[in-house]
Structure 1
Amino acid sequence: MEFNFLPIFTFLSLTLVTGHAAVSPEAYWNMVLQNTPMPRTVKNLLPSEGNVVAGQGRDYPVRPPFDLCYDISFTNGYEPPVHYGSTFFLEEDFKQGTKRKLDLSTMTQTNGVTFLPRQVAQMIPFSSNKFLEILNRFLIKPNSVEAEIIKETIKRCERSSFQGEQKYCATSLESMIDFCTSMFGKNIQALSTELEKLQEYRISGFKKIGRGGPDDPAVCHMQNYPYAVFYCHNIRSTETYMLSLEGTDGTKAKGAVVCHKNTSAWNPKHLAFQILKVKPGTVPICHALSQDSIVWLPN
């Protein structure tokens, strides 16, 4: 399955010729976030020199629903889909020093798509009202699987925020930076899970990041789309940890983890409760973030 990038590639070429003085996504990061190291996830999504659409001609990945499916199930009656890219566990599992195993053999990767420069992304429609125009731009048939993927991504971005959530769909790195700095300022951290290979890992250590409370993180989840689009949202009563991981072959890695402290409003059918055999509102529930998610929080 492939997305045809020829129309957008031609469009981008013309745009970049006329707008050659525009700041690149990487340059914008370095200008705004001078003291924030760029996580590997972001580096992997930067357009390569001379090619603003890396991934051109590659198969477009059909991925299972992402980590957000665990965070939007705050409304009773919502039954989350099964997701294969996150691992649920209890906060006490790593705080008590247990050598808990995490099966990270299916953690999602970026699969070759890249960020578009903001001035280009802003010229491409991203709206249900412009759905057919979007399909035409990518030469996608209306009844295809690719069309359904695009429709669902846009629909997810257009849904209303639930109580206690700030949300935003970033169609460029620059707009993601602006959203997160509007909440936390420029003295900010950006973290992601970084695995050398996909395998089973043991938790060998942990470190809490931030102070919790007013420092609830914003998490940006990469979407299924022809170029890099991230669903970013901030949820109250959430804490962030970085785990030190050791693979079965001795490989070292690190995992970004968020722990939801208050699950009292979650759907009782939530997959986490089924896996962990606990009830809503009883204990904090944690889950590892996939490699293509980014956690933002103030220093």
Structure 2
Amino acid sequence: MHPGKVMNLQFTENTDTATFLPRQVADSIPFSSDKLPEIYSEFSVKPGSMEAEEMENTIKECESPGIKGEEKYCATSLESMIDFTNSKLGKNVLAISTEVDGQTKMQKYTIKTGVKKMAGDKSVVCHKQNYAYAVFYCHATKSTRAYTVPLVGDDGTKAKAVAVCHTDTSAWNPKHMAFQVLNVKPGTVPVCHFLPQDHVVWVSTN
């Protein structure tokens, strides 16, 4: 992430525009794979449809165990996301996301000066999932560093991208896409990636 570095990037935005439900409402609705018929009925989703499959996959992903060293949680309301974040990072936190000023097409982006490392080596990263209402898969991992990276595209598009670097990948699945792309093995080198626009990184401001 050095100034002047040029990369082919496209910052995708999830087409799922579902918003959070109030916590009281979200907590009153089942969120479990053994309650799928009830959930489908609640949201008038047809069993066997693509939407039903996406919702089932989201729930199963949330129910699966995390990898070693990962504390995971699926937030079904903004309040629950903040509570999980506070429990891992303390009360003084900041939420950052990738911001793109222009079209999100594939093009060459150049890193400008001003790359900034966020405080601490622990963060909570929350990824938007496909569901009937907003659900974020959040996970807290140690040995993780977050950066804000100013970028400019060939067409003049400006972006303030959020990059996350995982310095310990020893517990990751050896078949993880990152290892295939980089042609490296788990635990050998840090793995860094940019986050899509609708993902959120929480960092401590202490």
In structure 2, what is the Cα distance between the partners aligned to 1:102 and 1:254? 15
The answer on whether the counterparts of 1:110 and 1:292 sit within 8 Å (CA) in structure 2 is no
In structure 2, what is the Cα distance between the partners aligned to 1:276 and 1:98? 21
In structure 2, what is the Cα distance between the partners aligned to 1:265 and 1:162? 7
In structure 1, what is the Cα distance between the partners aligned to 2:16 and 2:173? 32
In structure 2, what is the Cα distance between the partners aligned to 1:231 and 1:260? 17
Deviates more, 1:278-287 or 1:176-185: 278-287
Q: How many residues align?
A: 201
Structure 2: 5+ residue stretches without partners: none
Q: Within 5 Å, which residues of 2 pair with 1:186-205?
A: 186-196=91-101, 197-199=103-105, 200=107, 201-205=109-113
Following superposition, the deviation at residue 297 of structure 1 comes to 1.4
Pick from 172, 196, 210 the counterpart of residue 119 of structure 2: 210
Structure 1 position 230 matched with structure 2 position 132: no
**Residue aligning to 2:81:** 176
TM-score (norm 1): 0.64
**Residue aligning to 1:243:** 149
Following superposition, the deviation at residue 110 of structure 1 comes to 5.5
Secondary structure, aligned partner of 1:195 = strand
Pick from 24, 46, 50 the counterpart of residue 145 of structure 1: 50
Pick from 160, 169, 172 the counterpart of residue 254 of structure 1: 160
Secondary structure, aligned partner of 1:177 = helix
Secondary structure, aligned partner of 1:131 = helix
Structure 1 position 116 matched with structure 2 position 21: yes
TM-score (norm 2): 0.91
Following superposition, the deviation at residue 155 of structure 1 comes to 0.7
Secondary structure, aligned partner of 1:146 = helix
Q: Within 5 Å, which residues of 2 pair with 1:265-284?
A: 265-284=171-190
Structure with the higher strand share, 1 or 2: 2
- After superposition, the CA RMSD in angstroms is 1.6
Amino acid at match of 2:202: W
Identity, % of aligned positions: 55
